[in-house]
Structure 1
Amino acid sequence: MVAFLWPFVRMLALVGTAPIFGEPTVPRKLKVSIAALLAITLGPALPAMPDVPVVSFGGLWIIVQQVLIGAAIGFTMRMVFAAVLAAGEYVGLQMGLSFASFFDPMAGGTTMVVGRLLHMLAMLIFLALDCHLLLVEALAASFHALPVADAPLAAKGWLLLVNGGAQIFASGFMLALPLITALLTLNLAMGILNRASPQFSIFAVGFPLTLLAGVGMLQLLMPQLGAFLAPRFAGALTSVMELTQALRP
């Protein structure tokens, strides 16, 4: 039971927070089934579990640790998708689509249409690159880098996770930078035109022109999305291994 329970807890925490697996649209029973299947499949290849009774303070502490480790791995991978959503927010504001938002159950709040579109494309690229399989491989490797034990986790691992959150804004801004630059240049040109010709109605022409230019720039951005996200996914998988190494006491 111990050989199944503790790996299952870590895997369930990962499945509940990781991209694709942890989306709110995925039924909870399916998430539990996926975690149980992973625990049964990977269990024989995992290191030996500590000789600690499940019904004890040490057993409870191990369960809490496995939840934290699995959630940390899932959040590390989800940071890439958070950067894509941030880029969609930046782009939507520049295009004047801040009003075109709706409640997104996957994000747990109101999301702009552009951000939702980029998020869906990022999930398709995630699946096309087999990153979900690489994530399972990284999960199995985490049991060797950070075995199940009742020793406390190192604090530098959590610091590494917090510092990784800063990359959300940097990556999102880098993804949206070409479109933001083009739209700011267009707005500057319309401002100069309005000063040169005051009878020119900037409000009547500016919004449809900005929206049209934004759609055109999005068409140019879409083919480059895979080339932009592939190294980010690879970096996130590398960060998972660094995180498990840093959490090791």
Structure 2
Amino acid sequence: MTLSTSEVAAWVGGVIWPFVRIGAMLVAAPVFGAGTVPVSVRLAFSLVLAWALQPFLPAVPAVDPVSIEGGLVTASQVLIGVAMGFILQMVFSAMVLAGQAVALSMGLGFATLIDAQNGVQVPVVSQLYVILATLLFLAFNGHLLFLDMLVRSFHLLPVGPLMLSSDALWQIVRWGGTMYAAAILVALPAVASLMLVNVAFGVITRAAPQLNIFAVGFPMTLMLGFVLILFSLPTLAPRFSGLLDQSFALMRGVLGG
């Protein structure tokens, strides 16, 4: 049996190019790319996915991986994977921003923890919102929808040297405004209520200057902050679900679907 160079390149490329896109996506995506997930596990998972999805993917062109064209194909697959993961990452970043706004309003801005998702220090309230967002993401089968979008990406934007268009990149940039708006909407009930509490304490201070407002106001603000977070939790699920829908719609738009 004789094998030509093009046949070997097609067989190898059928796994290598999907592996590059999937690996780049898992590095940038939340949950999958969390700092608590070892790099070896992500690499093995990417390779298994690339091998398992090969029968469902369109034919991959025979390109020499060490050629200039192969370098362009690799760069395009990395860009596509990172863009998809980054869009979903901003959904979780909106939860972090919402938690930071609530924490600053209730006086817990100084209480920080290491966020295992991003490897940076965030307020404990942000960590709470990230944990809730992760649970909602798994409860809504977001991980399965994300993998389904990954398979669709190979049909919408097949493996090749084609890069994302400038319009697609600008869509991702404009998505940042949606992220900040969603963070404000999530944090608005607690922040607005805490602002009224602070105004009330200001009136009390003017009426009774001898009252030590720091000894009374700080624990009251903390307690009311946690109560307001508890009462605002029912609104978190629809907000997060709508933001997820927008992120998947953006992915389809970026990929040309």
Q: What range describes the TM-score normalised by the shorter chain of this pair?
A: over 0.9
Counterpart mapping for 1:214-225 below 5 A = 214-225=225-236
**Counterpart in the other structure of 1:237:** 248
Q: Per-residue displacement from partner, 1:24-57 (whole Å, max 9, x unpaired)?
A: 1011111111111111111111111123222200
Report the number of matched residues: 246
Which of 130, 136, 154 is the matching residue for 1:125?
136
**Counterpart in the other structure of 1:77:** 88
Is residue 161 of structure 2 the alignment partner of residue 150 of structure 1? Answer: yes
Instruction: Note the aligned Cα RMSD (angstroms).
Output: 1.2
Q: State the shift of 1:223 in Å.
A: 2.8
Q: Percent identity?
A: 38
* Amino acid aligned to 1:7: P
Q: Per-residue displacement from partner, 1:102-137 (whole Å, max 9, x unpaired)?
A: 232422211100000110110011001100000000
Q: State the shift of 1:18 in Å.
A: 1.1
Q: Residues 71 and 216 (structure 1 numbering): CA distance in 2 closer, same or farther, change over 3 Å?
A: same
Tell me how far apart the structure 2 counterparts of residues 221 and 153 of structure 1 sit (CA, whole Å). 39
What is the TM-score when the length of structure 1 is the normalising length?
0.95
Tell me how far apart the structure 2 counterparts of residues 38 and 152 of structure 1 sit (CA, whole Å). 23
**Counterpart in the other structure of 2:183:** 172
Which of 159, 167, 171 is the matching residue for 2:170?
159
Q: State the shift of 1:183 in Å.
A: 0.4
Q: State the shift of 1:227 in Å.
A: 2.0
Tell me how far apart the structure 2 counterparts of residues 45 and 204 of structure 1 sit (CA, whole Å). 64
Is residue 103 of structure 2 the alignment partner of residue 95 of structure 1? Answer: no
**Counterpart in the other structure of 1:37:** 48
Tell me how far apart the structure 2 counterparts of residues 129 and 243 of structure 1 sit (CA, whole Å). 23
**Secondary structure of the corresponding residue to residue 256 of structure 2:** helix
Tell me how far apart the structure 2 counterparts of residues 213 and 153 of structure 1 sit (CA, whole Å). 47
Q: Residues 131 and 152 (structure 1 numbering): CA distance in 2 closer, same or farther, change over 3 Å?
A: closer
Which segments of 5 or more consecutive residues in structure 1 lack a partner in the other structure?
none
**Secondary structure of the corresponding residue to residue 110 of structure 1:** strand
* Amino acid aligned to 1:161: I
Q: Residues 202 and 221 (structure 1 numbering): CA distance in 2 closer, same or farther, change over 3 Å?
A: same
Tell me how far apart the structure 1 counterparts of residues 25 and 137 of structure 2 sit (CA, whole Å). 16
Tell me how far apart the structure 1 counterparts of residues 187 and 59 of structure 2 sit (CA, whole Å). 47
* Amino acid aligned to 1:154: S
**Counterpart in the other structure of 2:61:** 50
**Counterpart in the other structure of 1:115:** 126
